[in-house]
Each structure stands twice: as structure tokens, then as C-alpha cells.
Chain A
Amino acid sequence: MEKFDVAVVGGGVMGCSTVLHLSRNQMRTIIIDSGALCREASGTNAGTLTLNMTRAALIPYAIKGWELWNNTEKWLCGGVGTRKVNGLSLAFTEEEEELLFKRIEARQAMGAPIKFISGRKAQLLEPGLNNSVRSAAWCNKDGFTIAYLTGHAFRRALKQENVSVREYSKVNKIEIEKNYFKIIFENNEHLKAKRIVLAGGVWLEEMLNWLNVKIKIKCLINQLIITERMPPVMKTVLSIANGLLSLKQFDNGTVLIGGGWQGIGDKKLGGVESIPENLIGNIRLACHVIPKLRYGRMIRVWLGLEAETADALPIIGKIPGISNAYVIGSVHSGYASGPYMGWLLSQLIMEQEPEMPLFDPNRLINK
């Protein structure tokens, strides 16, 4: 039976980033996923790297993540189509403007380079905007990636670092032995690892349960809409003051509409379908912001699962009560900060002091 220094269960951006850093430090590592790498939240999200929509508390981490995604040649094999563009969060009403002030304040306090600008200045940065825009929060450390390219890029990087990659393998349980963990698959095969990292996204609740640790993880069903290729209608990343729109146009001309509008689905079935009012509401909001969108056609709607804890903050750190066991996930808009979060956890695993504070899972036990 094979024995690894670290086994990471869950092949999304969190797990992949963690194991990549560990393997570069001569650890014998394996990453396991029930499907293919980065095909769940990490491959289905909108790819937004915005600070406008990141929770204030996570701004410092998102800034680091933004830097990493803009330097993929240095640490990731092949890029994920990162584009550095201006980000604007918009206000169309007085209430939204008030909300905008609050959000800018909170994020500036955490070091985000976000400025309050007038509607007119916003239109200079984004000529395609609806004329009725009142004001905006402008961030120049913004942009996006092409999420579905993430899996392919990590796969190449992991292979290069000799990380064992075990895809299409579902783990049924983990048994704690004297000096190691026994990871048992659905087909009854198993392997040994000195340390484990649970990085299973929306399935973290089940995974922690294997070790008898009870933490409730909510599963959000986020709607995403893509258009066919269109002539250029926008050049920034856009959102609304309340955080409920994400809008961008890729180099290939397709426009991606997101913002966390909910659909129907669950952990077992995945994203099943959209709720008509939410689908139409989401698109109406996007068209209000960029009126020229109405000349295109929507060609696909999908739903990505996203994990959220009770206080909407991450769980990253040692699993309480079990040595050599770690957890990482539930970061909320975690794709942007993912590579940095993985780095922080790898520091902890290598018994170094993490550069920035982690997020103790203990606070959420049985809550």
C-alpha cells in the first residue's frame, strides 16, 4: 500500500494550490478527486478577480491572490487567460450610493485600492455604461480569468512537480490509524498518508464527518449565463453596489453574467436548473448596466456550487482534535484568493508561521 507524506482530498483550486506548494518542498504528495481536477466550483465560477465583491475581511488575501493570478507564468503551467482590467461597482440610486460608500470604506480600511468616483468618470472608464449611473467604486487591481482553463493548467503544473493525481476516484471514508491515515475509496482500494488535507468544497461537511468533526456548510447554487460571441460592448469588470451582479466580456467576445443569483440544485445532483424569475432578473440587471447587451443571445445557463459557513468566513487550518489533519475551503468568492490560501496552509503544514492569519475551524464546531 502506497504511503504519502500528504494526501489532499478535493482537487479544486484550494486543494491544488496547497499540494503544489507542498510538493515543491520535497513532500511526497497525492491529490484525489471524485471527478476531474477543478471541474466543480473552481471550474464553473465567473473567474472574477474583483476586490469590490470580496468580503472586506478577505481583502488582503484577495490582493495576494490577484497578484498570483497575474503571474501564472511563475508558478502555474500555462495560464488561465488572466486579464487585468478596471473594476467598477456601480450605484444607480441614492440607496445604492450609500451602500457603496460603506463598502468602499470597509475595503479601503483593509488596504484595497478602491476609489469613489462620479458616474461621469465611470462612463469615461466604461463607455458602454447606462447613462443613468450615479457613481461607482473604482478599483484598478481588478480583472478576470477563464475559470474552465484552471483544471488543465493545474494538471500540467502538478504533473511537472511529480504530484500523484488520482481523478475519478471517490473516497468513502478515512480511518485514523496510529501513525497514519487510511483513505478508503468506493472501490475498496486504499492508500496511506501521514497527513491529510480536506479540500472538498461543498462536500467538506461530509468529509469532516468522516473524522467525526461536525461543521455545517451551506451549499449555494450560483447561476451563470454566457452569451454567444458579440462585438465589444464593455471593457471592465462590472458589479452593483449590493454585490449582486458580475459582468465581463472575454477576449473572444462572449459575455458572462453572474452575481450569485440562486438556482435549484444540491450537493448530490449538482446544479439542476435555474429559477425563471432569477434568470430573467439577472439578465435584466446586466442589460440595465450595459444596454447594448440586448443585441446578443444567451446560449447557456449553468449553476456552480459554492460553499459557505455560518459566518460566511473561511475554514482554513488544523482540524480540531486530530493531529496532522487540515482543512481548507468555504472562502466565499474563493477562486480569486485560492492560490494564496493554499500557500498559507502549506506554510502551516510545513510547520512555518503562516504569513497571514488563518481561519480556525474550531469556531464553527457544532454551530
Chain B
Amino acid sequence: MTKIFTNDIKKVDLVVLGAGPAGVAAANVASKEGAEVVIIDENSSAGGQIYRAPPNEFQPQNSFKSDEFREGEKQRNILKNSNVKALFKHRVWSVSSDLVVSTVGPNGLSSWHARSLIIANGALERIIPFPGWTIPGVIGLAASTILLKSQYVLPGQSTVVAGCGPLLIAVANGIIKSGGKVSAIIDLNSKSDWIKAFPRLLSRPDQLFKGMSWFANIMKAGIKLYGGHAVTNTKQVDNVLRISIAPINSAGSILDSKNQKIVEGDCLAIGHGLFPSTEITRLLKAKHIYDPLKGGWVPLIDDDFRSSIPGVYIAGDATGISGAFSAVQKGRIAGMAAVRDLNVMSSQKYKAKIKSELIILKKNENFGKAAVRLMKFRPELIQTITSETIVCRCEDVFRSEIDEAIESGARDLNQLKAWTRCGMGPCQGRTCSEAIEAILASKVGSRELAGQWTGRTPLRPVPIEQIIGKYTYEDIPIPENAPL
């Protein structure tokens, strides 16, 4: 048969999925110890989301280069100068139970058989729907950072920035720095939530200082800040988005829905926190636990970041949201654990080396914990999902249909899917899972009882053109005929 894969399926010591700060750190440290390492990422270069590189053809002026740009360049250079084989623009569509990683890349399909696998695929952004969230011009906070940092484009002439977490302040500041206008900031967190976070944020004074300078920029620009508020509705009138906001309590419950205020802009950048991406770990049937203080569902791991699947380690935000600074240490520890388990590194060396990593990790994790608390999911925020609100964007499934299915007896997520088609579209539930899991959990009692969607390949949609390659009819390995 015509070869399917452009390479012969090779066995490599370590495959790292994701070239963000955690993946790069893991790959580098393992490679230094002598392991053969392949790192795979769908972007054009390393950096993940936080250090995502602008295209080579875009030249930012020196004064315009951000700290993240510089840090990203540093990491990209370290990777370039290492022995790690980096596969960029490669999309992983399958990881088999015996750790064969299949990718679609610029030259077609390829496959890598890993002895050890480190999953460092980071996080996704949570969004709790509200009427009007599907209007073009309503985009994620993460999308806004991609626009600003790696495409140097403003999200709008006058953007309303909403949601929660440090990303809120980062996006608002990023817009100002790029010469744009922020019409208002709508923060789920109140002043007291930020004050509560302060002590932990002190563990990284440099970052705290940076955050405060961002905040100062926002104040200087005279941007109205609505603390303890949520977006409840968005309507489009001509080219303007009219956004209703209401005060909420700490559980996310809407207070005083009769006196909602309206803010306007031509873009609404909104995101309700980050949660670990469990696509690959669910596919591999790893064990997960639900921990709201880690962002939600996380794979069950031991102190050395081993998952419940032998040979599979998790690093970075995929272990639980804790930010880019913790990611590096987590990556290094996971990378070292992998080479130790492969006997490429001795146990003594391992024990010695991780001591210092753990100290730095603890400090960075503290900072990260404050960040994740600011992004914590507020269960009652699902009140903004009215009956007429679309929850599953791919399949246009309304809240009313989901409620009806639960009423008539659907009590787990996969049943809900069969009865409403929610989660059956091309995004396979990535966008709506947080909302739908929360809705079901509010009826069946807990997120654990609601469950998770069964993971299947492909991890992302694969163009059929790319999967079939060039072939003739005779090439197809037709199995034994069906019985007469």
C-alpha cells in the first residue's frame, strides 16, 4: 500500500506535546540529559499562548517590545540551540494507548512512537454564555491577546473588556499600549477579591509591580471599571454593541437585575478564566479529579507529574492553572522524571536537581494560586444563560433544550449529548463543556456526577484531503469480504 506516513514510525525517548513554557522547559532539560526528544506544536514557533511569537515578517520597534516578547525570544533561542527536534505547524490528531503520536503537518501525515510522553497542551478559556454572545465582534480575552501580541491588531475602535483574572488587566493595558481605546472594564471580581489576592501576589514582587503599573495605566486613561459585575446581555445596534451589565455576588448570582447598566463598544472581549485542556488525557483515559482551585478538571498526578497512565507525564497549565512562571519548573520536573524513569538519569541526580526546582516552583505557584482564584468559576454565573441563549454554538443547541433533556431523564453528559446533539460539532464540546457541565451539575448535584465527555480522535478536525494523501484504488487494504 502507498505509504501513509511521511516518516517511518520511529521510537523516540520522549515526545513533548506543546511548545509553551512548560513543554520547552521539559524538552530542553530531557535533551540535556541525553534523551532523544521531539517537541510538537501547531504554531509556527515556540511560546504557547503567553509567549506566542509575532510573525517573522512583523518587526516591532524596540520600545514596543513587551516583556513577554523578550521572554519568548529567549525561550525560542534556547530551544533552537538544543538538540531537541522541533516540529512546528504540526497538529496532533491522535495519541494511541501505546503512545504513538500522529500528526498532520506541512508535508502530510507523520507518526512518532514515544517511550515517554509529556502532555503540555496548556489551557482553554472558559466562557459562560449570555444572550448575544454569538454576535460577531464578541471575542475571547485570549483571542484579544493573540490579536494584540502576535498580530499587532486592535480588537476594536473602542473595546469593552470583561470577565475575570489577570488577563482582564493585561488585555486592557495591551489595548492602551497599542494606541487603542477601552470603553469600560467589567470585572467579575470585586475590589475585595483583588485585595484578598494581594498577599499571594507578593510572592512575585516583580510581577505584582508590573500588574500595578498596568492598573495605573488604566486609571490614567480614565477607563471606567465596574468591579463585581457580569455581562448579562449583548445586542447589536448598527455597528455598536450595547452590553448590559449587572452586579453579582461572590457566587456569581445576579443582583438587582432590574437596574442594569449599559456600556457600549464595537468589540466585546470577554473570558471567564482558564481551565486545563483535558483533550489528550481524556483520550488516553487517564484519571481526572475536579478541583475548582486548579481551574476545574485536572488529570490525577503524583508529585513527579506522572499521570495515571504509565509513561505519560503532564506539565504546565495542563496540570492545573498556575501561570507561565510555574510552568517552567513543572516542565523541568516532568522532563527530569521522564528521563529518570527511562534510566537516562540516575535517581540520585534526579533527587538533587529537583530540590532547587521545587523551591522556585513553590514561590511561583503561590503567585499562580492568586491568579487562579481570581479566575475561579462561579457556579451561579450560569444564571446568565437564559432559555433562549445558545449554549452549543456548533449545533445551535439552546439552554431550553438542555434543560428539557435533563428534565426528561438525561443524567450524564454523554446522554445529554445523544439527546440534544450538544458537543457533536467540530469543536467537540471545547467551547461549551464548561457551561453544559455546570448546568448539568446544578441538577445532578456535582461536576463529578455530571461527568466529562468521552475523548475520541481526531483531537482536532482533520481535512480529509490531508488524511488520504495520494493513492490508487488498488492501494486500499480492503479487509476480508463480509459474509454472503
Given contacts A43-B418, A151-B418, A228-B425, contact A243 B482 (CB under 8 A): yes
Q: Tell me whether B478 is interfacial, beta carbon within 8 Å.
A: yes
In the A-B complex, list the 8 residue pairs whose CB atoms are closest, starting with the nearest: A243-B482, A297-B461, A228-B426, A242-B481, A148-B418, A294-B465, A312-B483, A299-B461
Q: Tell me whether A49 is interfacial, beta carbon within 8 Å.
A: no
Given contacts A261-B479, A283-B468, contact A152 B428 (CB under 8 A): no
Task: Return 9 A-B CB contacts under 8 Å, by A number.
Answer: A93-B473, A99-B481, A155-B409, A264-B97, A284-B475, A285-B476, A300-B424, A300-B428, A302-B456
Q: How far is the CB of A136 from chain B (nearest CB, A)?
A: 16
Which partner residue on chain A sits nearest B481 by CB separation?
A: A242
Most buried by A among B94, B456, B464, B473: B464
Q: How far is the CB of B91 from chain A (nearest CB, A)?
A: 11
Which partner residue on chain B sits nearest A239 by CB separation?
A: B482
Q: How far is the CA of A227 from the CA of B97 in the complex (A)?
A: 23
Q: Contacts of B55 on A, CB cut-off 8 Å?
A: none
Q: How far is the CA of A345 from the CA of B94 in the complex (A)?
A: 43
Q: How far is the CB of A135 from chain B (nearest CB, A)?
A: 15
Q: Tell me whether B198 is interfacial, beta carbon within 8 Å.
A: no
Q: Tell me whether B179 is interfacial, beta carbon within 8 Å.
A: no
Interface residues of B in 404-422 (CB under 8 A from A): 409, 412, 414-415, 418-419
Q: Contacts of A298 on B, CB cut-off 8 Å?
A: 458, 461-462, 464, 467
Given contacts A227-B464, A298-B458, A299-B428, contact A277 B477 (CB under 8 A): yes
Interface size range of chain A in the complex: 35 or more
Q: Contacts of B481 on A, CB cut-off 8 Å?
A: 99, 242-244
CB–CB A299/B479 < 8 A = no
Q: Contacts of A56 on B, CB cut-off 8 Å?
A: 484
Q: Contacts of A192 on B, CB cut-off 8 Å?
A: none
CB–CB B479/A244 < 8 A = yes
Which partner residue on chain B sits nearest A261 by CB separation?
A: B479
The dominant DSSP class at the B interface is: loop
CB–CB A242/B464 < 8 A = no
Q: Contacts of B478 on A, CB cut-off 8 Å?
A: 242, 244, 281, 285
Q: Tell me whether B471 is interfacial, beta carbon within 8 Å.
A: yes
CB–CB B479/A103 < 8 A = no
Q: Contacts of B4 on A, CB cut-off 8 Å?
A: 276-277, 280
Q: How far is the CA of A273 from the CA of B99 in the complex (A)?
A: 12
CB–CB A273/B471 < 8 A = no
Q: Contacts of A280 on B, CB cut-off 8 Å?
A: 4, 467-469
Q: Contacts of B483 on A, CB cut-off 8 Å?
A: 55, 312, 332
Given contacts A283-B468, A297-B462, contact A242 B477 (CB under 8 A): no
Q: Which of A39, A53, A288, A297 contacts B418 (CB 8 A)?
A: A39
CB–CB A300/B464 < 8 A = no
Q: How far is the CB of B479 from chain A (nearest CB, A)?
A: 6
CB–CB A300/B456 < 8 A = yes
Q: Contacts of B326 on A, CB cut-off 8 Å?
A: none
CB–CB A242/B428 < 8 A = no
Q: Tell me whether B96 is interfacial, beta carbon within 8 Å.
A: yes
Q: How far is the CB of B280 from chain A (nearest CB, A)?
A: 13
Q: Contacts of B471 on A, CB cut-off 8 Å?
A: 284
Q: How far is the CA of A285 from the CA of B467 in the complex (A)?
A: 12
Which partner residue on chain A sits nearest B427 by CB separation?
A: A299
Instruction: Please count the residue pairs between chain A and chain B whose beta carbons lie under 8 angstroms apart in the complex.
Output: 116
Q: How far is the CA of A99 from the CA of B478 in the complex (A)?
A: 14
Q: Which of B5, B111, B482 contacts A53 (CB 8 A)?
A: B482
Q: How far is the CA of A278 from the CA of B94 in the complex (A)?
A: 14
Known A227-B464, A242-B478, A278-B477; 6 more pairs at CB < 8 Å: A39-B418, A149-B418, A278-B479, A280-B468, A301-B457, A332-B483
Q: Tell me whether B102 is interfacial, beta carbon within 8 Å.
A: yes
Which partner residue on chain B sits nearest A55 by CB separation?
A: B483
Q: Tell me whether B1 is interfacial, beta carbon within 8 Å.
A: yes
Q: Contacts of A278 on B, CB cut-off 8 Å?
A: 477, 479
CB–CB B464/A283 < 8 A = yes
Q: Contacts of B476 on A, CB cut-off 8 Å?
A: 281, 284-285, 288
Which partner residue on chain B sits nearest A312 by CB separation?
A: B483
Q: Tell me whether B106 is interfacial, beta carbon within 8 Å.
A: no
Q: Contacts of A125 on B, CB cut-off 8 Å?
A: none
Q: How far is the CA of A297 from the CA of B465 in the complex (A)?
A: 8
Interface size range of chain B in the complex: 35 or more
Q: How far is the CB of B144 from chain A (nearest CB, A)?
A: 26
Q: Tell me whether A359 is interfacial, beta carbon within 8 Å.
A: no
Q: Tell me whether B445 is interfacial, beta carbon within 8 Å.
A: no
Q: Tell me whether A121 is interfacial, beta carbon within 8 Å.
A: no
Q: Tell me whether A185 is interfacial, beta carbon within 8 Å.
A: no
Which partner residue on chain A sits nearest B418 by CB separation?
A: A148
Q: Tell me whether B136 is interfacial, beta carbon within 8 Å.
A: no
Interface residues of A in 99-120 (CB under 8 A from B): 99, 102-103, 106
Interface residues of B in 443-475 (CB under 8 A from A): 456-458, 461-465, 467-469, 471, 473, 475
Q: Contacts of A264 on B, CB cut-off 8 Å?
A: 97
Q: Which of A103, A273, A288 contacts B484 (CB 8 A)?
A: A103
Q: Contacts of A243 on B, CB cut-off 8 Å?
A: 481-482
Which partner residue on chain B sits nearest A93 by CB separation?
A: B473
Interface residues of A in 220-253 (CB under 8 A from B): 227-229, 242-244
Q: How far is the CA of A299 from the CA of B464 in the complex (A)?
A: 10
Q: Contacts of A332 on B, CB cut-off 8 Å?
A: 483
Q: Which of B96, B425, B428, B464 contacts A296 (CB 8 A)?
A: B464
Interface string of A49-62 (1 = CB under 8 A from B): 00001011000000
CB–CB B464/A272 < 8 A = no
Interface residues of B in 144-184 (CB under 8 A from A): none
Which partner residue on chain B sits nearest A147 by CB separation?
A: B418
CB–CB A242/B418 < 8 A = no
Q: How far is the CB of A220 from chain B (nearest CB, A)?
A: 11
Q: Which of A242, A276, A288 contacts B102 (CB 8 A)?
A: A276
Q: How far is the CB of B44 from chain A (nearest CB, A)?
A: 21
Q: How far is the CA of A39 from the CA of B419 in the complex (A)?
A: 11
Q: How far is the CA of A277 from the CA of B5 in the complex (A)?
A: 10
Q: Contacts of A39 on B, CB cut-off 8 Å?
A: 414-415, 418
Q: How far is the CA of A159 from the CA of B436 in the complex (A)?
A: 26
Q: Tell me whether A180 is interfacial, beta carbon within 8 Å.
A: no
Q: Contacts of B479 on A, CB cut-off 8 Å?
A: 244, 260-262, 278
CB–CB B458/A300 < 8 A = yes
Q: Contacts of A151 on B, CB cut-off 8 Å?
A: 415, 418
Q: How far is the CB of A181 from chain B (nearest CB, A)?
A: 27
Q: Contacts of B428 on A, CB cut-off 8 Å?
A: 299-300
Which partner residue on chain B sits nearest A149 by CB separation?
A: B418
Which partner residue on chain B sits nearest A275 by CB separation?
A: B96
Q: How far is the CA of A92 from the CA of B419 in the complex (A)?
A: 39
Q: How far is the CB of A97 from chain B (nearest CB, A)?
A: 14
CB–CB A294/B426 < 8 A = no
Q: Contacts of B412 on A, CB cut-off 8 Å?
A: 36
CB–CB B484/A106 < 8 A = yes
Q: How far is the CA of A229 from the CA of B396 in the complex (A)?
A: 13
Q: Contacts of B409 on A, CB cut-off 8 Å?
A: 155
Interface residues of A in 280-326 (CB under 8 A from B): 280-281, 283-285, 287-288, 293-302, 312
Q: How far is the CB of A22 from chain B (nearest CB, A)?
A: 22
Most buried by B among A93, A298, A312: A298
Q: Tell me whether A274 is interfacial, beta carbon within 8 Å.
A: yes
CB–CB B461/A273 < 8 A = no
Q: How far is the CB of A283 from chain B (nearest CB, A)?
A: 6
CB–CB B418/A294 < 8 A = no
Q: How far is the CA of A296 from the CA of B1 in the complex (A)?
A: 24
Q: How far is the CB of B382 from chain A (nearest CB, A)?
A: 24
Q: Contacts of B426 on A, CB cut-off 8 Å?
A: 228, 297, 299
